[in-house]
Amino acid sequence: MEKQRFDGLGLSQEILKAVAKLGYEEATPIQSAAIPVLLEGCDLVGQSQTGSGKTAAFSIPAIEKVDPDLKAVQVLVLCPTRELAEQVCSEIHQLTAFKRGISAVPIYGGASYDRQLFELRKGTQIVIGTPGRLMDHLERGTLKLDQLKVVILDEADRMLDMGFRDDIAKILESAPEDRQTVFFSATLSREIRDLINRHSRDPRTVAIERKDVAAPAIDQWFYEVPPRFKTQALIRLVDFHGFHLGIIFCNTQRMVDELADALLAQGFSADRLHGGISQAQRTRVMNKFRNSEFEFLVATDVAARGIDVDHLEVVINYDLPPDPEDYVHRIGRTGRAGRKGMAATLTSGRDLFKIQYLEKFTRSQIRRGIIPSPEEIEGRKSEQLLGKVRGILETGSFTSQESLVACLLEEGFQSTEICSALLAMLLGQTGSTVATAAPESPKSPVRENHGPATEEELGEFGGRHAPRRPVRDEKPAFAKKKGFKPGPQKPQGKSFEKPFEKPFKKSFKKPFRKG
């Protein structure tokens, strides 16, 4: 199933405006296949994996069917866990931002009945809940389904595994017979098929098939980073590895703009590419990037199609793509023609579960790394600088400056002090003493265990009095003949000086579950 643009799916202007505000440029395969069928009013059985965009696939058509003037439950979404219910409700709130008079509420166990009763009595039109708590409200008479138009079972296979079969059956039996029934499941077991046959009418099946795709032979890493520290973590990785040319992928236009502005404010030369800018500007940006006139291109998948740039050193997934095939296409832009390449992914929370699926999908290993500390970054810079100085001394390819050195010696400065001051200038550490020996630094930091990085390992992302990162004045060898022009250093931008407040959460231990 080919992807389509949202404006070609027959959606209302309010929904298109909400989608545009979220920054999404085109529908995922499951959205392209399911939305037209659901808008027709047909029952549907959808098969798709986690992260495929199925929440929007069923939420958008359901929202379109809601009558804002009718203060009664018209859409019911069943979810296996409270976390998923909250996530679905949050996305529905974003999609109804321009639909006046439509409200949605999550209903799940462990939360106060009072708040839920208040929302139900007020006349909410969309209810997202877990089967157990929904049954409680049905038995109490506080949840009425006589005006229900659409009932959706999200991750139906997981709900059956958790023992909700009887509750689901009772809820479906309590709903009007002429409602629209939607099942989404990663697998279609015999129990699920029996449920479908008993509670739906001539459903259409939409299955997004996944074909294994081999990832290119490049180094793949993922780093567990809290969302609020992603930008700081990205900067540390770039400084540690010394990247000069790379693409950073984000999932939305808004995130592209925010990240590009943040990188410019931190002294990087960067530009952006997404569907919200004109074609003429996109052409200019691409031509500059091909000529290595700036270091980092921040882009969405749609805008970055067809990018073919030699000597690309790194691809960074600031956001994990919703489609695993997009991941393969992203990382395949580096390491071409036998060159060395690296792909780095910043992830946290639920996205951690996608890593195992990506490994299986790409038949490759994605290793866990740790964000280098400021000390490791300084050690790496010192090591690189000493290597350059050592090479110049060994080859003798420098002009003698004995008169200047003699002048400083006559003024009473020691030779070690003069060398330390010069090296400190080169490292941007004027006023500090440079170590004579740099600590050995690994090519890419690796965690032996599978727990998240500790606060001590990560340190602070910039001190309270840390200077802003200067514009880099060094260009890679391949860019020297192509007019490499670092971008201007802009004073505006967000501050990234807040240290970690607490260690990361524990890493996932459960096996990856599809759906």
Of 180, 207, 234, the residue at which a domain comes to its end is 207
When mean pLDDT is compared across 55-69, 104-118, 374-388, the lowest value belongs to 374-388
Mind giving me the DSSP string for 120-161? HHHT-SEEEE-HHHHHHHHHHT-S--TT--EEEEETHHHHHH
CA dist., res. 503 & res. 453, Å (int): 8
Domain containing 327: what range? 219-374+442-479
In this prediction, residue 1 carries a pLDDT of 53
Could you give the CA distance from residue 79 to residue 90 in angstroms, rounded to a whole number?
13
User: Do 159 and 239 reside in the same domain of the chain?
Assistant: no
Q: What are the DSSP calls for 45-64, one per residue?
A: EEE--TTSSHHHHHHHHHHH
Summarize pLDDT for 359-409 with one digit per residue, the tens.
888 888 899 998 988 888 777 777 777 777 777 777 777 777 778 878 877
Q: CA–CA separation, 382 vs 376, rounded Å?
A: 10
Residue 250: the pLDDT is 93
Percent of the chain with pLDDT over 70: 77
Binning the chain into helix, strand and coil, the percentages to the nearest 5 are 40, 10, 45
Predicted confidence at residue 355, as pLDDT, reads 87
Among candidate residues 445, 321, 317, the one with its CA nearest the CA of residue 371: 445
pLDDT at 152: 95
The reported pLDDT for the residue numbered 405 is: 78
- In a domain? residue 391: no
pTM: 0.52
Position 491 scores a pLDDT of 40
Cα–Cα distance for residue pair 188/157, rounded to 1 Å: 7
| Residue 214 pLDDT > 90 | no
Answer yes or no: are the C-beta atoms of 457 and 447 closer than 8 Å: no
How far, CA to CA in Å, does 118 sit from each of 114, 143, 252, 371?
Answer: 6, 11, 35, 46
The domain boundary, picked from 172, 207, 242, lies at 207
Q: How far apart are CA 333 and CA 336, in angstroms?
A: 7
pLDDT value at residue 443: 45
Domain match, 264 and 369 both: yes
- C-alpha separations of 350 from 356, 364, 387 in Å: 12, 21, 42
357 inside domain = yes
State mean pLDDT over 7-26: 86
188: left (phi over 0), alpha (psi -120 to 50) or beta: beta
Average pLDDT over residues 254-282: 88
Is 22 exposed, middle or buried (CB count within 10 Å of its CB: 0-12, 13-18, 19+)? middle
With a cut of 90, say whether residue 339 has pLDDT above it.
no
For residue 248, what are the β-bridge partners?
298, 316
Q: Mean pLDDT over residues 243-267, rounded?
A: 91
Is the same domain home to 169 and 27? yes
**What is the pLDDT of the chain when averaged over all its residues?**
78
Better pLDDT: 337 or 389: 389
Question: How many other C-beta atoms are found inside a 10 Å radius of the C-beta of residue 414?
Answer: 10
Sign of CA dihedral 456, 461, 463, 467: positive
pLDDT tier, 16 (very low <50, low <70, confident <90, very high otherwise): very high
Residue 294 and residue 200 share a domain: no
Q: Using the predicted structure, report yes or no on whether residue 450 has a pLDDT greater than 90.
A: no
pLDDT mean over 402-419: 78
Number of domains in the chain: 2
Predicted confidence band of residue 139 (pLDDT cuts 50, 70, 90): very high
Q: Report which of residues 454 and 80 the model is more confident about.
A: 80
Residue 393 within a domain: no
State the Cα–Cα distance between residues 59 and 127, nearest whole angstrom.
Answer: 12
Return the pLDDT at 199.
92
CATH of residue 125's domain is 3.40.50.300
**Domain C-terminal end among 153, 181, 207:** 207
Distances (CA, A) of 88 to 66, 122, 308: 17, 21, 37
For residues 82-89, average pLDDT: 86
Identity (one letter) of the amino acid at 62?
A: A
Rounded-to-integer distance, Cα 221 and Cα 146, Å = 52
Task: Give how far Cα 399 sits from Cα of 307, 404, 419, Å.
Answer: 42, 12, 16
pLDDT of residue 433: 40
At 466 the pLDDT is 34
Domain membership flag for residue 179: yes
Residue 301 lies in a domain: yes
Amino acid 307: pLDDT: 67
Q: What is the 3-state secondary structure (H, E, C) of 400-440?
A: CCHHHHHHHHHCCCCHHHHHHHHHHHHHCCCCCCCCCCCCC
Q: Which residues contact 505 (CB under 8 A, 6 or more apart)?
A: 452
Same domain for 325 and 456? Answer: yes
Q: Write out pLDDT tens, residues 168-189.
A: 999 999 999 999 999 998 778 8
Whether the predicted pLDDT of 95 surpasses 80: yes
Q: Are residues 182 and 297 in the same domain?
A: no
Burial of 331 (0-12, 13-18, 19+ CB in 10 A): buried
Q: What is the pLDDT of residue 448?
A: 39
Instruction: Report pLDDT for 467.
Output: 36
Q: How far is CA 324 from the centre of its chain?
A: 13
Asked whether residue 240 falls in the same domain as residue 153, the answer is: no
Give a yes or no: residue 128 inside a domain.
yes
* Co-location of 144 and 287 in the same domain: no
My answer on whether 230 and 201 are in the same domain is no
179 and 127 belong to one structural domain: yes
The Cα-based distances of 344 to 281, 354, 369, 436 in angstroms read 28, 14, 9, 32
Tell me, yes or no, whether 427 lies in a domain: no
103 and 193 both lie in a single domain = yes
Helix (H, G, I), strand (E, B) or coil at 222: strand
pLDDT digits (tens, 9 = 90+) for 140-149: 999 999 999 9
User: Which of the two residues, 514 and 256, has the higher pLDDT score?
Assistant: 256
Residues 203, 228 within the same domain: no
Locate the DSSP E strands across 365-405. Answer: 367-369
Per-residue pLDDT tens for 484-505? 444 444 444 444 334 334 444 4
Is 122 within a domain?
yes
Residue 444 pLDDT exceeds 70: no
The tokens for 108 are 């799940």
Highest mean predicted confidence (pLDDT) among 247-256, 396-405, 471-480, 481-490: 247-256
Give the burial string for 468-507 (b: 16+ CB within 10 Å, else e).
ebeebeebbeebeeeebebbeeeeebeebeeebeeebeee
Higher model confidence: residue 73 or residue 430?
73
* pLDDT: which is higher, 357 or 18: 18
| Rounded Cα gap, residues 160 and 147, in angstroms | 26
| DSSP symbol at 341 | -
3-state secondary structure (DSSP) of residue 181: strand
